[in-house]
Amino acid sequence: MLKIRAAAPLAMLLLSGCVVGPEHEAPKTALPAKFSEGSARAAADVTLAPWWTAFNDRRLNGLVETGLAQNLDVLQAIERITSAEANFEAADSSAFPRLTVSAEHQVSKTNASGALVNRESDTTNTSTGTLGVSWLIDLFGQYRRAKESAKATLDAAYAQSDVARLTFLSSVVTAYVDARYYQERIAIARKNLASRRETLELTRLQLEAGAASRLDVVQSEGLVNSTLAEIPGLEISFRQSVHRISLLLGLPATELLADLQKGAAQPYARRGVNAGVPADLIRNRPDIRAAERNLAAATAEIGVAEAALYPSITLSGSISPTLVATSAASGSATSWGFGPSLNLPIFDAGARVANIKAREAAAREAYLAWKETVLSAVSEVENALVAVSRTRQTVSALTATVRSYEEALALATASYRDGASSLLDVLDAQRNVASAQANLAQAVQQLAIGYVSLNVAIGGGYAWDGAKTVVASN
């Protein structure tokens, strides 16, 4: 009997080291050695690179710095971290004994009347206290798996905060690029308007001199009015872009609108980007890291569900002192109790097994979500690389086109003044210039957006200020 008593604590200690359920392993999927239009050279830690500074725009740099500190989506993500930390602390505390203390004091007396008048009792003061302790012994790792799940969920919350920062960078820089594009289009339209008004005045003078017809004047007026009609729509788009920036910064639009209306050149990134290799995305992309941590949490939940199949032992005890006092006498008593209780699941109509199957399905779903996130990231980088390289070629060609059409317009105008060519030649040249300038501005905009998309796709820049919030996984 003594040997059994001595061996029991040892057996419980050994059982307490048993953890059921699968161990989480880093997921894997086949990836190409390089991007189709990239190099085979791995990238450094791009999360620290402030890629938007390649635009050489101090106003943009200030917007990014301000927004990262007060963007509402980023702040909400930080609050979700606080919630996940509290859940982790709650899961961690479950493995420790629970201690409770309660106290009670009661005053009682019986007042009698009639035949019971002689039985009136004294005033009785009763004080009672209870000190209780309970501890569920984690025989099969239920609490440890729950703690693993809570820790992985916390890590995912940190990664999601980084996702929010990266999303903000993409949104605010893209909105800024759009705003400067519409400003450029407005400037082009006003410049063309001035040129077309000059042509209209020249045509009116030639009409008075008998060298032009009323048709020429009407055609010139139509071109002037069509340009006037184009400007309000561009101004609407500019203001909408500024309003989007203001929302991202969590600020009223009035002050920012006045600042951006001062104008600046379109953002143009001449700096190249090393996209690295697909395997770098697993390290640098916070959404991939969040998906992996969600998979780890789902895997740990399988162990929690499996532990419910096995017996559980709870050690509990209490000490309750009681003090009773009357005018005639007083006394005290103390009661205590301690012992284990066994919970043995026998029949639940398959509920626990069904719960395990549900957790296993959730883990498989989490793996597929991780794999989809990885493949989507690779596709985003591939698309951005193609967009940047091809749009750069378009910008180069359109730059030459604008120069040619501007020269053609100057020649046509001079020839029209001398009476050597018709007004139609001038109007055609003006249309060509306006169209080429608009196409060039749009191409520059698309090149900038492609540059933004590429840097975001490789997971760049969200930790440039040292505020990287990722927690290393266990």
- Per residue in 4-28, is it b (16+ CB within 10 Å) or e — as a string? eeeeeeeeeeeeeeebbbeebeebe
Q: Which residues have a Cβ under 8 Å from the Cβ of 196 and sit 6 or more positions away?
A: 220, 223, 224, 227, 430
- Per residue in 99-130, is it b (16+ CB within 10 Å) or e — as a string? eeeeeeeeeeeeeeeeeeeeeeeeebeeeeee
**How would you class 236 by CB atoms within 10 Å of its CB: exposed for 0-12, middle for 13-18, buried for 19 or more?**
exposed
The domain spanning residue 329 has which CATH number? 1.20.1600.10
Q: Half-sphere exposure (CA, 13 Å, Cβ side) for 310?
A: 18
Helices then strands (H, E): number in the chain?
Answer: 10, 4
Pair 178, 445: CB distance under 8 Å: yes
Q: Is residue 471 part of a domain?
A: no
| Widest CA span in the chain | 138
Tokens of 59: 């106003």
Nearest 5 degrees, angle CA 218-CA 222-CA 224?
115
Q: Which residues have a Cβ under 8 Å from the Cβ of 424 and sit 6 or more positions away?
A: 219
Helix (H, G, I), strand (E, B) or coil at 321: strand
Pair 373, 291: CB distance under 8 Å: yes
Q: Is residue 369 part of a domain?
A: yes
The stretches in the chain having pLDDT less than 50 are: 1-16, 116, 470-474
Token pair 């000059």 is found at 198
Between CA 71 and CA 272 the distance in angstroms is 28
Instruction: Report the pLDDT value the prediction gives residue 299, as an integer from 0 to 100.
Output: 95
Instruction: Report the pLDDT value the prediction gives residue 328, as an integer from 0 to 100.
Output: 67
Give the chain's domain count: 1
Domain membership of residue 133 as a residue range: 30-105+123-457
Q: Is residue 464 part of a domain?
A: no
Tokens of 341: 């209780």
Q: Is residue 468 part of a domain?
A: no
Between CA 440 and CA 424 the distance in angstroms is 24
Instruction: Report the pLDDT value the prediction gives residue 10, as an integer from 0 to 100.
Output: 42
Between CA 115 and CA 268 the distance in angstroms is 106
Q: Is the entire prediction scored with pTM above 0.75?
A: yes
Q: Is residue 22 part of a domain?
A: no
Pair 469, 162: CB distance under 8 Å: yes
Helix (H, G, I), strand (E, B) or coil at 94: coil
Instruction: Report the pLDDT value the prediction gives residue 195, as an integer from 0 to 100.
Output: 84
Instruction: Report the pLDDT value the prediction gives residue 308, as an integer from 0 to 100.
Output: 85
Kindly tell me the sign of the dihedral angle through the C-alpha atoms of 41, 46, 50, 52: positive
Kindly tell me the sign of the dihedral angle through the C-alpha atoms of 460, 466, 468, 474: positive
Q: Is residue 472 part of a domain?
A: no
Instruction: Report the pLDDT value the prediction gives residue 3, as an integer from 0 to 100.
Output: 46
Between CA 3 and CA 288 the distance in angstroms is 54
Q: Is residue 8 part of a domain?
A: no
Residue 18, φ and ψ in degrees, nearest 5: -85, 125
